Amino acid sequence: MLTLYGDRDSGNSYKVELVLTQLGKPHRYVVIDTLKGETRTAEFLAKNPNGRVPVLEIDDGTYLPESNAILCYLAEGSALMPTDRLERAQVLQWLFFEQYNHEPNIATARHWLRAGLLTPEREYAFAQKRLAGYAALGVMEDHLERHRFFVGERYSIADICLYAYTHVAGQGDFDLARFPAVEAWLDRVRSQPGHVAMLKD
């Protein structure tokens, strides 16, 4: 059976749980509390030397880190991953966009606010993250004004990946009301069969 090592407040962990659930893959969830330093223990670092959740343990005992690599691994051969060569590359395009332009800004701003980590020396970086986070939401809005989903007009792991931290962006003090196409898309993602909510929303 697959084992997901994750944190219940981590959107990166949630996106893996959502894919596992929607694909009907049996799994167990081992909670790793990042705020308690549980990603920095010798035991966890043996699973992922980069010290981050999520990590997927595969049946043969291999540990696979990086949420979006896990999404690709799980979705291969399912309706959540296209078969067309260009559409597959476009799914990856949005997955890399999410990890470079979206998550470090929107998820980190949310984390700093929720965990009381917005120290004075981080004020400048926080302001930069707000600008960059709003820019990322603008790129999504522009795309979703013309498309129902991110790739091929079908629900895929590109949508799941971007949903994870977009739907809780308000917790990072981002105002989603400025992005009506994004809000309509969030509703479309929520209405997919087998959708489960992120805990602590």
Residues binding a second copy (CB under 8 A): 49-50, 58, 62, 64-70, 72-73, 76, 85-86, 88-90, 92-93, 95-97, 99-101, 103-104, 121-122, 124-125, 128, 139, 142-143
What are the beta bridge partners of residue 151? Answer: 154
Compute the least distance from the CB of residue 96 to a second copy, in Å. Answer: 4
Q: In terms of CB distance, is 92 or 181 closer to a second copy?
A: 92
Using the 8-state DSSP alphabet, how is residue 40 labeled? S
Compute the least distance from the CB of residue 40 to a second copy, in Å. Answer: 12
Task: Compute φ and ψ for 49, nearest 5 degrees.
Answer: -60, -15
**2-6 and 63-65: which strand pairing?**
unpaired
Q: Which of 85, 129, 127, 78 is nearest to 103 (CA)?
A: 129
| SS3 per residue for 81-97 | CCCCHHHHHHHHHHHHH
Compute the least distance from the CB of residue 120 to a second copy, in Å. Answer: 10
Q: In terms of CB distance, is 41 or 128 closer to a second copy?
A: 128
Q: Which of 91, 67, 84, 90 is nearest to 19 (CA)?
A: 67
Compute the least distance from the CB of residue 168 to a second copy, in Å. Answer: 19
Name the token pair of 105. 């800004």
Residue with tokens 């998820």: 107
Compute the least distance from the CB of residue 101 to a second copy, in Å. Answer: 7
Q: CA separation (Å) from 39 to 44, 47, 145, 150?
A: 6, 10, 39, 32
Q: In terms of CB distance, is 21 or 128 closer to a second copy?
A: 128
Q: In terms of CB distance, is 73 or 149 closer to a second copy?
A: 73
Q: In terms of CB distance, is 64 or 192 closer to a second copy?
A: 64
Compute the least distance from the CB of residue 92 to a second copy, in Å. Answer: 4
3-state helix, strand, coil in the chain (%, to 5): 55, 10, 35
Name the token pair of 174. 């981002």
Q: In terms of CB distance, is 49 or 180 closer to a second copy?
A: 49
